[in-house]
């Protein structure tokens, strides 16, 4: 009966070996809380060297690397497919393992791990906000690298303030399969990423023969600038101007720009912001549409935004005649919360819209349809 190495600290790995090889793996669990991630703010984490204690961490001439996860910034709600590679300085390793954890500024697990690699994945750790895997015992004489594949991490769809910064902690075990937890090498690494800029509001309105753009942002982290882009056909966007960002701020910042080159003879114009981080990564804002034909209907602005829960918002609407306007409120997951109908008259209108006292703080989508015109969408932040 040959003993198989227990990888990644004191996890239980029971393997029954016969003359034909591995017969059954009852448990391939990699224990939690050994990725180096701290357990409290300002604290220190534990590594697998607490069990595999023959050598100092990162001392075997190798490394553990992650490919596919965001490098410096992430996009809310996006899924990232990734792999983990454990390297060792000498081709004499026969078993491999790794574990990874993502935490926010409050040291809480953030995002969701998943895998298609069901043969060696530790699903128990996923429910605890970590992911860990172990390889079956190697039949080769030895190797100096192993790559774990088929994994993904999904960023939070509506990040909280603490989730603006996410740090991944990960470890790798290059083991020798000698039947003990000795003479194994542990490698560690970490990567910190941020949500570059949170756009609170973005509105466009007519200002004589020009177009006025206003937007608010919060929690800017290493944001470099915002590029204004415009489209007259709804397909092709062109550069209009670049606005330098505050860069790093946890408070609300207001920006505005007057587009005096807008082709006001075009009946409809669309605008978007290209939000560029200092490392060159970027994300796009929602598209805002404005009708430059005064005989048509359009929403000039919606305010205040953010709004305190229970307080109404105001919709500044320009109408070409007396007609109904419908306000539909949705969650970011597509659940309809309310539908409110009001009347507008020809010209300028300020409509009070009650969002309801039951709303919890967060992001919502407000769809506004004036008469039979195209529905316009805006994002509403409730505090």
Q: Which of 317, 305, 313, 308 is nearest to 349 (CA)?
A: 317
Q: Which band of pLDDT confidence, cut at 50, 70 and 90, is reported for residue 221?
A: low
Mean pLDDT of 216-242: 84
CB atoms within 10 A of CB 114: 15
pLDDT score recorded for residue 117: 74
pLDDT at 10: 33
Each residue of 166-201: pLDDT tens digit?
999 999 999 888 777 788 999 999 998 877 667 778
Q: How confident is the model at residue 101, as a pLDDT?
A: 93
Of 304, 283, 319, the closest CA to residue 355 belongs to 304
**Cα-Cα-Cα-Cα dihedral sign, residues 219, 364, 129, 39:** positive
Phi-psi region of 381 (alpha: psi -120 to 50; beta: other; left: phi over 0): beta
pLDDT at 11: 34
Structure confidence at residue 2 as a pLDDT band (50, 70, 90): very low
Determine the Cα–Cα distance for residues 16 and 12; give it in Å rounded to an integer: 13
Q: What pLDDT, on a 0 to 100 scale, did the predictor assign at position 20?
A: 29
* pTM exceeds 0.75, yes or no: no
Decide if pLDDT at 15 tops 50: no
Multiple choice CATH, 15-194, 3.10.20.880, 2.60.40.2550, 2.40.160.20, 3.80.10.10? 2.60.40.2550
What's the confidence (pLDDT) of residue 3?
37
Q: Where are the domains of the chain?
A: 15-194, 196-293, 294-383
Within this chain, domains 15-194 and 294-383 share the same CATH topology = yes
User: 9-13, 101-105, 218-222, 244-248: which has the highest mean pLDDT?
Assistant: 101-105
Task: List the structure tokens of 26.
Answer: 């009852």
What is the token pair recorded at 28?
Answer: 């391939």
Question: SS3 of 127, please?
Answer: coil
The gap from C-alpha 321 to its chain's centroid, in whole angstroms, comes to 43
pLDDT value at residue 63: 95
Q: What is the structure's pLDDT at 62?
A: 94
pLDDT at 27 over 60: no
The answer to whether 380 and 359 are in contact (CB under 8 A) is no
Omega before 306 within 30 of 0, i.e. cis: yes
Total residue length of the chain: 383
Question: Mean pLDDT score of the chain, rounded to an integer?
Answer: 79
Provide the strand spans (E) within 260-335.
268-277, 282-284, 288-291, 298-303, 313-319, 323-331
Q: What is the pLDDT of residues 332-383, one digit of tens each?
A: 888 888 899 999 887 668 888 888 777 888 888 999 998 887 778 888 888 8
Strands 165-175 and 185-194, bridge-based pairing: antiparallel
pLDDT band per the 50, 70, 90 thresholds, residue 9: very low
Confidence of residue 1 (pLDDT cuts 50, 70, 90): very low
Q: pLDDT class for 91, splitting at 50, 70, 90? A: very high
What tokens appear for 356 in the block? 């309801």
Cα separation of 352 and 355, whole Å? 10
Compute, in degrees rounded to 10, the torsion defined by CA atoms 136, 142, 145, 148. Answer: -10
| pLDDT confidence of residue 165 | 85
Give the per-residue pLDDT at 361: 86
Lowest mean pLDDT of 24-28, 72-76, 158-162, 214-218, name the range: 24-28
| pLDDT at residue 57 greater than cutoff 80 | yes
Report the pLDDT averaged over residues 120-148: 73
CATH number of 294-383: 2.60.40.2550
CB contact at 8 A, 9 and 52 = yes
165 bridge partner residues: 194
In the beta sheet, which residues pair with residue 239?
Answer: 229
Using the 8-state DSSP alphabet, how is residue 317 labeled?
E
- Mean of pLDDT values over 132-153: 79
pLDDT computed for residue 309 by the predictor: 83
Q: Which of 130, 146, 126 is nearest to 138 (CA)?
A: 146
145-169 burial code (b ≥16 CB/10 A, e <16): ebebebbbbebbeebeeebbbbbbb
What's the whole-number mean pLDDT along residues 289-296? 68
Q: CA nearest 141: which of 177, 174, 172, 173?
A: 177
Helix and strand numbers, DSSP H then E, in the chain: 1, 27
Domain 196-293: assigned CATH number: 2.60.40.10
């Amino acid at each position: 009966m040959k003993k198989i190495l227990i990888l990644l600290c004191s996890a239980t790995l029971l393997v029954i070996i016969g003359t034909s090889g591995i017969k059954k793996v009852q448990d391939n669990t990699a224990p939690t809380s050994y990725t180096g991630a701290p357990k409290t703010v300002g604290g220190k984490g534990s590594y697998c060297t607490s069990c595999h204690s023959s050598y100092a961490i990162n001392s075997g001439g190798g490394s553990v690397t992650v490919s596919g996860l965001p490098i410096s910034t992430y996009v809310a709600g996006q899924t990232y497919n990734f792999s983990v590679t454990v390297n060792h300085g000498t081709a004499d390793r026969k078993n491999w393992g790794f574990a990874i954890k993502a935490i926010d500024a409050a040291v809480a697990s953030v995002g969701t791990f998943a895998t298609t690699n069901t043969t060696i994945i530790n699903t128990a750790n996923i429910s605890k906000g970590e992911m860990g895997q172990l390889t079956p015992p190697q039949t080769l004489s030895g190797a100096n690298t192993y790559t774990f594949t088929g994994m993904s991490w999904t960023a939070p769809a509506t990040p909280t303030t603490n989730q603006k910064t996410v740090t991944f902690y990960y470890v790798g075990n290059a083991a020798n399969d000698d039947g003990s937890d000795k003479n194994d090498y542990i490698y560690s690494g970490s990567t910190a990423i941020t949500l570059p800029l949170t756009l609170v509001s973005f509105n466009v309105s007519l200002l004589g023969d020009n177009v006025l753009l206003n937007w608010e942002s919060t929690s800017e982290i290493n944001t470099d600038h915002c590029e204004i882009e415009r489209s007259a056909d709804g397909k092709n966007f062109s550069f209009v101007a670049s606005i330098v960002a505050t860069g790093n701020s946890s408070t609300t910042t207001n920006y505005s720009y007057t587009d005096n080159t807008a082709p006001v003879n075009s009946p409809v114009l669309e605008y978007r912001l290209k939000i560029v981080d200092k490392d060159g990564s970027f994300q796009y804002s929602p598209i805002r549409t404005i009708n430059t034909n005064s005989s048509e209907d359009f929403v000039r602005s919606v305010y205040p935004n953010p709004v305190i829960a229970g307080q109404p918002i105001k919709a500044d609407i320009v109408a070409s005649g007396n007609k109904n306007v419908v306000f539909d409120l949705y969650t970011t997951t597509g659940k309809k919360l309310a539908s409110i109908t009001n009347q507008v008259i020809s010209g300028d209108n300020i409509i009070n819209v009650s969002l309801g006292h039951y709303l919890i703080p967060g992001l919502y989508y407000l769809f506004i349809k004036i008469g039979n015109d195209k529905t316009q969408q805006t994002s509403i932040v409730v505090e």
